[in-house]
Amino acid sequence: MNMGDEPEQPLSKNALKKLKKAEAAAKKKAEKEAARKAKEAENPTKKKAAVVADEELDPTQYKANREAAVAAMEKEGTNPYPHKFHVDYRLPD
């Protein structure tokens, strides 16, 4: 078989609709991704860059990340391990 010599078969109406819909979705997704990247470029955040998914960390990195988070909470003045939790509301019985 020589693919270059064979004429392309016409697509059915449903196949054309499906193809157009897929192209429109891909275009919309690309525009959305470009807008998101432009927004990130304007407002870079330290937290997003610093936070790494816990599943991707080995145990020593996870522990170091947790220790850094606890130290940051203590620096802000909040207790990361409170003795009591004050309840503001009750669940109906």
Instruction: Please write the tens of the pLDDT for every residue from 7-42.
Output: 678 889 899 999 999 999 999 999 999 998 888 888
Distance CA 43, CA 37 (A): 10
- What is the value of pTM for the model shown? 0.38
Comparison of pLDDT for 63 and 2, the residue scoring more:
63
pLDDT of the residue at 52 = 56
Quote the radius of gyration of the chain (alpha carbons, Å). Answer: 27
pLDDT of the residue at 42 = 83
pLDDT of the residue at 59 = 77
Instruction: Please write the tens of the pLDDT for every residue from 49-87.
Output: 455 566 677 778 888 888 999 999 999 998 888 888 778
Q: Which one-letter DSSP state was computed for residue 44?
A: -
